[in-house]
Each structure stands twice: as structure tokens, then as C-alpha cells.
Chain A
């Protein structure tokens, strides 16, 4: 399976690679990574334990109310996690780092400040 993934990656454009990967790789054999959450007033920091994963194969996609993570492992299964947010975020401001097998995602909260006019 991993070999086929590489062949298709080399010979097709990015969008096809992603389609193939999601259908054939991460829709089966999925495991949720161990996850920790730390929330402050401004951000939600999520860390996910993802051993046996290569950084370049991790996919993190963000929407306003959901952050999706998927990553194939060298063990033949895939880590997959959807984080449904109870607040809105700016998807382009979500930050992710991968260190020592742990993926850390910083999700800023979209805070709308209104100045209230006193009548």
C-alpha cells in the first residue's frame, strides 16, 4: 500500500494524490491518536501523540469550526482525528508543529470585539 502511494504521488498532480490517499489510505485502518487539550481565552492548543509518522505525510486541514488531521504511519495504519470546535477560528491562522512524534496545533479563537455605544 505504501509503495502504491509513492507511485501515484510521483505520477499525478496534487489533487489526485489527496483523493487517492483519503479513499485508499485513511478511510480504513484508522486509529485516533492520544490527544490532549489545553484551552485559554484566546486559543485552543491540541497535542496529538503520533509515533511512527513522517512529518511530510501529515495532513492538517482547517475549517472555521473543524480541524482535521490524518497521517499514515510506517506500521500500516493511519492516525485520524477530527476536532470539532465549539468556537470559530480563522483557518489560515491555525499553526501546527511536529516534534518528537507529537503534533501540536494551536487554534486561535476568532474573537469579535464590538465597542458598545452608550446611549
Chain B
């Protein structure tokens, strides 16, 4: 049995869209992806169309508006499909999930994958508007990102779950990109999520209002505290890989 069979993608509603754009929000540095995608699907009334299950995920179900929900869910609005995880993905399930997802993206004939993450910055406290950096395996996507105000990574590295998405995308010939906003290394960062969503509006034609993210930033930080704590622990388990000194 292929290891990625331990992950199952369940479509509760038929996802029938040509060449969708995927937006991924998985907990990592600053919870930028989780906060941004969670806000986007709520604010833009995305339709919940599926979920992802696995015995390798921690035994967690989440409750929103009195409804019990799977922590890794799939949303859709028009051409956009969002993947939102409310649990940290440890390295082993991460390998399998990335493989399963990219194979599923290939089946769906995706136009572009946009993974949302953070870039830790010690001086984040002194910055009001975090900058957004990006990388992609496709030159045209890089140009489009640059035109939308993204600073393209010339040198650096992407690690963790999104690195696997990029790696698998190259193997499967999918267009994949990662957006990284400057953020606090270990604290939830709604401000960084707002910066990402402003860029995403330009890239996808969405009109996500980010005002709420700054107005309710402190409440959000309280709400996301436990997930941040779990994610920090998960990232420590992941960070056994030595980063080359040239990138430090």
C-alpha cells in the first residue's frame, strides 16, 4: 500500500471546476496561512465542499458555531479552492498529505497552487505593514507576483510542508508558489495574514476586507494561542534538518 493512502480526501459536494486555483493555509510560522485562509473563507462566504481525514492526524475535532467539524477542510468559491488546516501537520503525515494533495490537484487540473506562510523576523514589532516575499516554480507566475507587489526570493529556502508541496509540484509539472509574509517567529500574526490577503486580492481578483484582522488582532491572538503553541512544538520536531550556514 502506498503510504499516502493513509490520507483520504472526502468531497462532500461535487467539486466541478476547470483549472482551479488552490490556496493553502496550514499552520506554521506565525500561523499566517491558517489566519489568512480562515478569514478569507469566512469573509468571502466560501462553500465547505470537503475534508481530509487520516489516522495520522491528532485526535481533534473543532467546533465552530455549534457545529462539530473536521480540522482539515476544503472550501470552494468559483474557481478558488481553499485548503484550511486547524491542526499542525507533523513531518510524517506532512509527507503523505503533500503527496496526496498534489496528486489530487493534478486530477483537478489546477492552474496554480498558492501556499501561504510566514517568514520570521526578529524586528517584526517595529514594522507596521509586513512585506510579502514569494517564490514559484514558474517564471510567468513569478512575474505576476512581482507585478502584485511581492518581493521575489532571489536566494533562500522554503522548509516544511510547503517545501514538499513545491517538490511534488515540480515532479507532477504543476504550477506552485509560496507567499511568505514577515511575521513574529513564535506568535500568531494577524497583521502578516492581512498583508498576504492584500496581495492575494491582486493575484486572484478577490476582494477580501482585511479591516477586521487589524481591528480584532488581539482577540485573534488569544483565540489562536493554543494552535500556535502546538505548531511551535510541531515545528521543533520538524527542525531537525540543519539549515545551510549561507542561509542563516
A interface residues with partner B (beta carbon < 8 Å): 31, 34-36, 38, 49, 51-52, 73, 75, 99-102, 104
Contact = CB atoms under 8 A, between A and B. Distances in A.
Contact of B185 (A36, A51, A101): A36
A101 B218 contact: yes
B125 A34 contact: no
Interface in B102-161: 122, 125
Interface stretch (B15-23, B40-48, B52-60, B219-227): B219-227
Contacts, number: 38
Given A34-B186, A36-B185, A51 B218 contact: yes
8 contacts: A34-B186, A34-B228, A36-B185, A36-B187, A49-B187, A52-B221, A73-B222, A100-B125
A101 B190 CA distance: 13
Nearest to B187: A49
Given A34-B228, A34-B229, A101 B221 contact: yes
Nearest to B229: A34
Contacts of A34: 186-187, 225, 228-229, 232
State the majority secondary structure of interface residues on B: helix
B186 A75 contact: no
Nearest to B218: A51
Nearest to A52: B218
State the majority secondary structure of interface residues on A: strand
B184 interface: yes
Interface of B: 122, 125, 184-188, 217-219, 221-222, 225, 228-229, 232
B125 A51 contact: no
Nearest to B128: A100
* 7 A-B pairs with least C-beta separation: A51-B218, A51-B221, A49-B187, A52-B218, A36-B186, A51-B222, A34-B187
A102 B219 contact: no
A39 to B, nearest CB: 13
Residue with the highest number of chain A CB atoms closer than 10 Å, among B217, B225, B228: B225
Given A34-B187, A99-B125, A52 B228 contact: no
Contacts of A31: 225
A65 to B, nearest CB: 25
B125 A52 contact: no
A52 B187 contact: no
A49 B125 contact: no
A83 to B, nearest CB: 16
A27 B125 CA distance: 30
Contacts of A104: 125
B229 A52 contact: no
A52 to B, nearest CB: 5
B185 A49 contact: no
Nearest to B228: A34
A76 B122 CA distance: 30
Nearest to A32: B229
B125 A102 contact: yes
B222 A52 contact: yes
Given A49-B184, A100-B125, A102-B125, 5 more contacts: A34-B186, A52-B218, A75-B219, A101-B218, A101-B221
A102 B218 contact: no
B118 to A, nearest CB: 14
A100 B225 CA distance: 16
A99 B185 CA distance: 16
Contacts of B122: 38
